[in-house]
Amino acid sequence: MIVMKFGGSSVESRAQIEKVLHIVRARLARRPVVVSSAHKGMTDALINAAKAAATGRFDPSVPVNKQRAVAESLGCAPDLLAPFYEEIADLLRGISLVKELSPRSLDYIASFGERMAVRCIADFFARSGVPARAYDVWDLGFITDANFGRARPLPGFDARIKAMFAERVPEGIVPIVTGFVGRNEAGEITTVGRNGSDLTATLVAAGLGAEEAQIWSDTDGVMTADPSVVKTARNIPTMRFEEAAELAFFGSRVLHPSTLLPAMEKGIPVRVLNTNRPDHPGTVIDFDTDAASPAVTCIAYRERQVVLKISSTRMFGEVGFLAQVLAVLARHEVVIDVITTSEVSVSMTTDDLGKLSRALPELEQFGACEVLPNRTTLVIVGQGMPRQKGVAAQVLDAMAQAGVNVEMLSYATGSVNLSMVIEDAHVASAVGVLHHSLFEKAR
């Protein structure tokens, strides 16, 4: 059995869904389970309509018309999604009346994209000769906590998923399953976070003990850099989980940050493939690969980060200073990514200026606080970095050539990633020069 996740760009139109049909049909012998995202742009359309409704502007036409156009192009019967269109209108009307959009309501409205997409796709598959049936993932055992916007399955989810699949998915049927969404024990709809359908896929794969989880997108697997920034970026044939996890967290556009954890726990390989070039081998992510590890595997980045710098002579030789600072940040739920220290200052990055701002009054008791927005965490990832001399020197030399100032630098002993903080405005030039230095010069 394989679990195949198709992203929004893979199911955005009839032309793309026909590609998905051919890909799935060619793998029927491997008993595919298909996890689908919403059609490209649908989740944004739903959320924008909900935000507009919260200001009193009731207009369900944009998401409804967008979905109706895809359904009609696939030849779906008009009544297939009629109940969903009515429910969307009712929900948006309610939001417009109370002028309030809670996290619970936001998850509810966002869920319609996947729920409608899987029904259209399953209907199209069935009429095209591939026996398929649509399933909401909660009907297959995916019950979550009540953390709206970032829900996670309850303990024991893998056993529930395995049992419910055996009970509810007939032999020979290709299940088309909603990604991104879930349901808590109270029956309320939740979501696992934006771009979370790939997380759903690996969680389902873990529950079913699948031989492989496949993430189908619009790139040739994981690339050495963001191909929209570096036109010469190339495919990485094999990666270790540790490298891929770093890339996902630090900005790889291919994988959701939490995707790899369920697969790692169950030892299930993850293969990243291109819907538009299904014969391309893509990238295989596993614990062990046959290929020798290069010093550097990939360059990734996270834009729109915030740097907090606290300067204080109290740090010098004081026991527990940093622990106290981190305790304040924890109380305000500020997630810290990169941290560097000296004897009289500490600098750290986060992605939530709002939470950091609320923590500042308490932080100022420790010293002078400086907040620097519009920063990017730029990372160089490679399993072989700890064993090869001169990589850091090569990286910093490339940054100097690009005329980019490195404001923070972090590299732990034996780490697979070297992290730098630069200004957002310098990302394109920094990544381009780095890629040329690390990947193209050696070719």
- Indicate if 12 and 146 belong to the same structural domain: yes
Q: What is the pLDDT of residue 66?
A: 98
43 is in an annotated binding site: yes
CA distance linking residue 116 with residue 124, whole number of Å: 13
Is the pLDDT assigned to residue 33 strictly greater than 90? yes
Q: Is residue 251 part of a domain?
A: no
CATH number of the domain that 356 lies in? 3.30.2130.10
6 is in an annotated binding site: yes
CATH number of the domain that 57 lies in? 3.40.1160.10
Contact 131, 172 (CB under 8 A): yes
5 is in an annotated binding site: yes
Model pTM score = 0.87
113 is in an annotated binding site: no
- Indicate if 187 and 309 belong to the same structural domain: no
Q: What is the pLDDT of residue 259?
A: 85
Domain end among 217, 246, 263: 217
CA distance linking residue 364 with residue 35, whole number of Å: 47
Q: What is the pLDDT of residue 132?
A: 98
Q: Which residue has the higher pLDDT, 21 or 289?
A: 21
Give the helix/strand (H/E) hosting 87.
helix 82-98
Q: Is residue 261 part of a domain?
A: no
Structural domain total, the chain? 2
| Amino acid, res. 219 | T
55 is in an annotated binding site: no
Stretch 133-159: mean pLDDT: 96
241 is in an annotated binding site: no
- Indicate if 302 and 395 belong to the same structural domain: yes
Q: What pLDDT band is residue 402 in, cutting at 50, 70 and 90?
A: very high
Q: Is residue 227 part of a domain?
A: no
Q: What pLDDT band is residue 290 in, cutting at 50, 70 and 90?
A: low
**pLDDT tens figures, 233-265:** 999 999 988 888 887 777 656 677 678 889 999
Domain end among 182, 217, 252: 217
Mean of pLDDT over the chain: 93
CA distance linking residue 110 with residue 102, whole number of Å: 12
- Indicate if 198 and 308 belong to the same structural domain: no
Q: What is the pLDDT of residue 441?
A: 78
Residue found by looking up tokens 């919403």 in the block: 38
Beta bridge pairs of residue 190: 182
Beta bridge pairs of residue 178: 36
Stretch 23-43: mean pLDDT: 98
Range from 206-210, 294-298, 350-354, 402-406 carrying the lowest mean pLDDT: 294-298
**pLDDT tens figures, 154-188:** 999 999 999 999 999 999 999 999 999 999 999 99
Q: Is residue 244 part of a domain?
A: no
Question: For residue 269, what are the CA distances in angstroms to 244, 323, 340?
Answer: 12, 38, 34
- Sign of the four-CA dihedral 166, 168, 174, 178: negative
CA distance linking residue 303 with residue 71, whole number of Å: 36
Its domain, for residue 312, covers 298-440
Stretch 409-432: mean pLDDT: 93
